[in-house]
Amino acid sequence: MQLAEPLARVVSEFSAWETERGDKPRTIEAYLRNTREFLLCGPTPATTLTEVTLERVESYVHFCVESRSEATLYTKLSSIRVFLRFLWEAGHLDNDLSAQFVLPSPVKRWPAYLSRAQEDRLVCLIDDYESPKKRRVRAAVELLLHGPKVNELVALNVSDIESSGKFNLGSENKRRTIYLHERSWRALVDYLEVREESVTCGQPDGEALFLSRQGKRVSHRWIQRQLETLGLQVGFELTAEILRNTFAIKLCRGGAPLDTLHYFLGYEREFSVWKFIWTISREEKGQMPADRKWVAKNVKNLFKVQRAEEGER
């Protein structure tokens, strides 16, 4: 199928613009191929530039999600973003549409996480911890399984814990409330009962949730050491990042909306959660994974959030 004459001329201008920028011939060829596909896809091919809208971009994303890999999706959306930038700089569009959506970053390293069996094995190990020091470790691990970063866990205060089975997490601009299930809440309550007993010397800090032997706030290194020790006992690697990834993967598998993932993980960018979505996709071969359908269904929310952010600025 051929492009309409007005759009064919614009694509030729785009090719010349790319050449002036110094892009390599193969890059330009790929950009032009993806641009033509973008203009021709959808219920009806575009015939004029007035049809080049964010709605068409959304439609194109749906098309790519259903039939392309994550790397291909990133490449194709990169091409469209450059094309939209050209249209604005050349005066074909009044607004810079390229600034109104964010590309998902290509995943360079797939997130490691615990399988259900591994998580059960870890939980069974720490569930029998009864001494004050062991209860501290158990409570820290249970909270890490709810998605906080290490610095957020270290910064937790007793006042951040609410009696209704939830705790407040993060700095002022990323403040969020995390809800604990019964097992984790029980571990936290058990630790709070003996919190000051884990201090062997010095006066306990009145604010810090997790106290060291000296009565001060625990360090990042303490958490790292405890997880390394537990990893040796259960027979697989344990880090705070792996526990956080496990929480994110469980949310994805449960079909949580994108704004929910964004909120509970404390991400600034909506597309930061895509690495978890694609991780699940890679495990499903031979058919379109359910989570990809979920991505396609939620893509519009991404653009809505981005538009709202642009409006606030």
- In order along its 313 residues, the chain shows pLDDT tens digits of 788 888 999 999 999 999 988 888 888 999 999 899 889 887 788 888 888 888 888 788 777 766 666 667 778 888 888 999 999 999 998 888 887 766 665 555 678 889 889 999 999 999 888 888 889 999 999 999 998 888 888 888 888 888 778 888 877 667 788 888 888 889 888 888 887 776 656 666 678 888 887 888 889 999 999 999 998 888 888 999 999 999 988 888 888 877 788 888 887 666 677 778 777 766 654 333 333 443 444 444 444 434 444 444 4
Q: In this predicted model, what pLDDT tens digit does every residue of 241-262 receive, in sequence order?
A: 999 999 988 888 888 877 788 8
- Asked if 5-100 and 116-245 have one fold, the answer is no
CA atoms within 13 A on the CB side of 181: 6
Coil/strand/helix, residue 101: coil
Supply the pLDDT for residue 102: 66
**Would you say 204 and 211 are in contact if contact means Cβ atoms under 8 Å apart?**
yes
Residues of the chain by 3-state class (helix, strand, coil), percent to 5 = 65, 5, 30
What are the structural domain ranges in the chain?
Answer: 5-100, 116-245
Pairing of strands 176-179, 166-169: antiparallel
Class of domain 116-245: mainly alpha
Length of the chain as a residue count: 313
Q: Crossing angle, helix 54-67 and helix 70-89, to 10 degrees? A: 160
Q: 5-100, what's its fold? A: DNA polymerase; domain 1 (1.10.150)
Tokens of 174: 């990323």
| Rounded Cα–Cα distance for residues 276 and 253 (Å) | 10
Supply the pLDDT for residue 307: 43
Closest Cα partner for 115 from 264, 278, 249? 249
Tokens of 56: 């068409």
Supply the pLDDT for residue 69: 65
Supply the pLDDT for residue 222: 92
The gap between the terminal CA atoms of the chain, to the nearest Å, is: 40
Cβ contacts of 157 within 8 Å, gap of 6 or more: 207, 208, 209
Supply the pLDDT for residue 161: 86
Beta bridge partners of 27: none
